Amino acid sequence: AIAVRAHTVARGRLEDRVSGNGSFVPRTSITVVAQVSAEVEAVAVREGDQVEAGAVLVRLRDDDYVLARDKARAALESARRGVAQSLVTLRSQYRAAAANLADARLALERNRELIASKSISEDTLQRSQSAYDAAALNVDSLREQLNLRSGVPLAAEPQLEASRDAAVIEASPEVEQSLLAVRSAEDSIRKCTVVSPVAGTVTMVRPSVGDLAAASSPLA
């Protein structure tokens, strides 16, 4: 007799086992690099550690960048004071020029009356006319300088009040440039704390404490 084994047919999984040598590699691998150049101050992880996204991996010394930030902040305040002082000076000069123009106008009008009665010479009238023209040119020049500094059309009536000074100061090119320097230094300070962009397993830690990490060099 032939032995027969009976099985109920059902859907399942077929397995074929193979022996061999190889290595495991992650489906996703991220190399964290230094974004600034600085000395390694601390290494917070070791190979094999499990980390969450945002976990600190390496800390770099930020002394130089803190100093650069403080210098940039001082330059920013100096730029703000400089713009504020220039606004005050230009307004004062414009007021003085406008007063001088008013005096020159009165002198010219008076001399025109006197020339009609031949009480003064033509040279005197001409000098008063020249003084008036020079005063008018000075007023126009100072108006344009003040309006240019204030960020308004050159031919507009100048702003003689300080109500818009804060906005004018912050919009000035020198203040904007100094503010960018402050933000750049602050960004460099933040980059000295290197964190994990994702959750995962640390498979390699490159630097040791005291090493100099160059920008774009691998860290973990």
- Confidence band, pLDDT 50/70/90 cuts, at residue 27: confident
Six-digit token string for 176: 């904007």
pLDDT tens track for 78-115: 999 999 999 999 999 999 999 999 999 999 999 999 98
- Confidence band, pLDDT 50/70/90 cuts, at residue 119: confident
* Rounded average pLDDT over 172-201: 96
- Confidence band, pLDDT 50/70/90 cuts, at residue 204: very high
Alpha-carbon span 207 to 220, nearest angstrom: 8
Share of the chain above pLDDT 70, in %: 100
Helix 173-191 × helix 63-116 angle, to 10°: 170
Q: Tell me which of 56-65, 131-140, 144-153 is least confident.
A: 144-153
3-state secondary structure the chain: CCCCCCCCCCCCCCCCCCCCCCCCCCCCCCCCECCCCEEEEEECCCCCCEECCCCEEEEECCHHHHHHHHHHHHHHHHHHHHHHHHHHHHHHHHHHHHHHHHHHHHHHHHHHHHHHCCCCCHHHHHHHHHHHHHHHHHHHHHHHHHHHHHCCCCCCCCCCCCCCHHHHHHHCHHHHHHHHHHHHHHHHHHHCEEECCCCEECCCCCCCCCCEECCCCECC
pLDDT given for residue 202 in this prediction: 96
- Confidence band, pLDDT 50/70/90 cuts, at residue 26: confident
Residue 190 above 90 pLDDT?
A: yes
- Confidence band, pLDDT 50/70/90 cuts, at residue 25: confident
- Confidence band, pLDDT 50/70/90 cuts, at residue 207: very high
Six-digit token string for 166: 């804060």
